[in-house]
Structure 1
Amino acid sequence: MVTGAPAPSTAAEGPALRIGVLALQGDVREHERALATLGATTVRVRRPADLFGLDALVLPGGESSVIDKLSRAFGLREPLRAAIVAGLPVYGTCAGMILLAERLEDAIAGQQTFGGLDITVRRNAFGRQQESFEAMLLLPALGDEPVAATFIRAPEVVLAGPDVEVLARLEDGRIVAVRQGNLLATAFHPEVSGERRFHRLLLESAAVRRADGTAGTS
């Protein structure tokens, strides 16, 4: 499995990239460990002030409806949406993919998202917890080595807009990884299997944004 070396430019061109991990609920520690192996500094994001100075943000897996409700209770939803609109690089896994979607299928009553990705996502598309599974995926954007993908109560992308790059599909054609601008999302959990290339993509976007002088303004 690829764990990767520290992402270029995190140390050689200045301080380590400062990456937020939304810490309202979900697998926060797993993402923190993944980012640390790539040389990034992590910040747990629970309040609007925690968004200040970030180079990028991770939306972890968990319960999308719970994260949505807590983000509103903590006054975080609108500042986070504004940061996405402003170009903050964001990576969402599983529930994070749901939260980045502009449209949902099978949402619970009143459920909202942060938006940003021009996709329609179906929640719990692969069944319950006991129906979790692993699959090997080919992602040309990440190189020749397949990705070991862990699916846990995973969503799927049922519709992707014209500006969305489809990064991976299952053998049956279902879309499970996408990218649009600075936004990246996977229906599976690379942080569980030790895969680090998606986190490296996030850091690369963050480094470019920092070099452009737009980082830290979220």
Structure 2
Amino acid sequence: MTAPVIGVLALQGDVREHLAALTGAGAQARPVRRPAELDAVDGLVIPGGESTTISKLVDIFELREPIDKRIAAGLPVYGSCAGLIMLASEVLDGRPDQRGFDGIEMTVRRNAFGRQVDSFEASVEVTGIDGGPLHAVFIRAPWVEHVGADVEVLGRVTEGPAAGRIVAVRQGNLLATSFHPELTHDLRLHRYFTQLVRTAS
């Protein structure tokens, strides 16, 4: 079976880490900075980083309309942390000029868990991923405050002051997490997304 080609939006953030994780998960991983590179992929990852910066760079590199069109046509996309914010239909505490892709019907809160010093790690059970909880790394992470009827909640924080908060969701071919699986050695979430891309193709 031919490995799916999965791009990582390579404008800012954890690009190298996602490329390595996708390769380990059995995909052909490529950086995406231009519309022509986007045209050549079967799936796309929007990495963690700074969502307002990614939003600006998407326009500078003339990728907004091409990505919007591919999402509307069913392109599988996975967003981690800032990528989750970029996929949301509504963002709380965002900048007025910040624009995402309006892909997943959800309301998210930027930096919901606090500032950089409030970053933490926790175990998160994710529906559809076998083998026990994922070790989740949260860095200035958002959380999901509300989801639409078509959005499946895959994971919540189970401990601490943020217990119960939604941190993993899926709507059709779109997947998003508040945490950074690319910063661990656990490839299960990247394998899950690679299989989603395979199925969609």
TM-score category, normalised to shorter length: over 0.9
**Residues of 2 paired with 1:118 and 1:79: CA distance?**
20
Of 180, 186, 191, 1:195 maps to 186
Q: Deviations over 1:107-154 (max 9, x none)?
A: 112110012100011000011111100001122421241110000000
Look up the equivalent residue of 1:100 and give its one-letter code.
L
Runs of 4 or more off by more than 6 Å in structure 1? none
Match of 1:56 among 35, 38, 43: 43
TM-score, normalised to structure 1, is: 0.88
**2-side partners of 1:74 and 1:140: how far apart?**
35
Q: How far apart are the structure 1 equivalents of 2:101 and 2:116?
A: 25
Structure 1 match to 2:23: 36
Once the two structures are overlaid, the 10-residue window that deviates more, 147-156 or 36-45, is 36-45
Structure 1, unaligned runs of 5 or more: 1-12, 211-218
Partner of 2:68: 81
1:123 aligns with 2:110: yes
Please, which of 137, 162, 174 is the counterpart of residue 165 of structure 2? Answer: 174
* 2:58 aligned with 1:68: no
For residues 22-63 of structure 1, the C-alpha deviation after alignment (integer angstroms, 9 at most, x for no partner) is 000000000011011122111111111111121100000000
Q: Is the 8 A contact 1:138 1:144 kept in 2?
A: no
Unaligned runs of 5+ in 2: none
Between 1:164-173 and 1:91-100, the stretch displaced more is 164-173
In 2, the alpha carbon distance for the partners of 1:158 and 1:105 equals: 9
Q: Deviations over 1:163-189 (max 9, x none)?
A: 100011112210000001000000000
Q: Aligned ranges for residues 82-97 of structure 1 at < 5 Å?
A: 82-97=69-84
Asked whether the 8 Å contact 2:126–2:168 carries over to 1, the reply is no
Asked if 1:23 corresponds to 2:10, the answer is yes
The amino acid that maps onto 1:200 is R
Q: Secondary structure of the residue that 1:75 maps to in structure 2?
A: coil
Work out the CA distance in 2 between the residues paired with 1:205 and 1:71.
Answer: 24
1:10 maps to: none
May I ask how many residue pairs the two structures share in their alignment? 197
Task: Tell me if structure 2 keeps the 8 A contact 1:136–1:149.
Answer: yes
TM-score w.r.t. the length of structure 2 is 0.95
Identity across matched positions, percent: 55
Partner of 2:177: 186
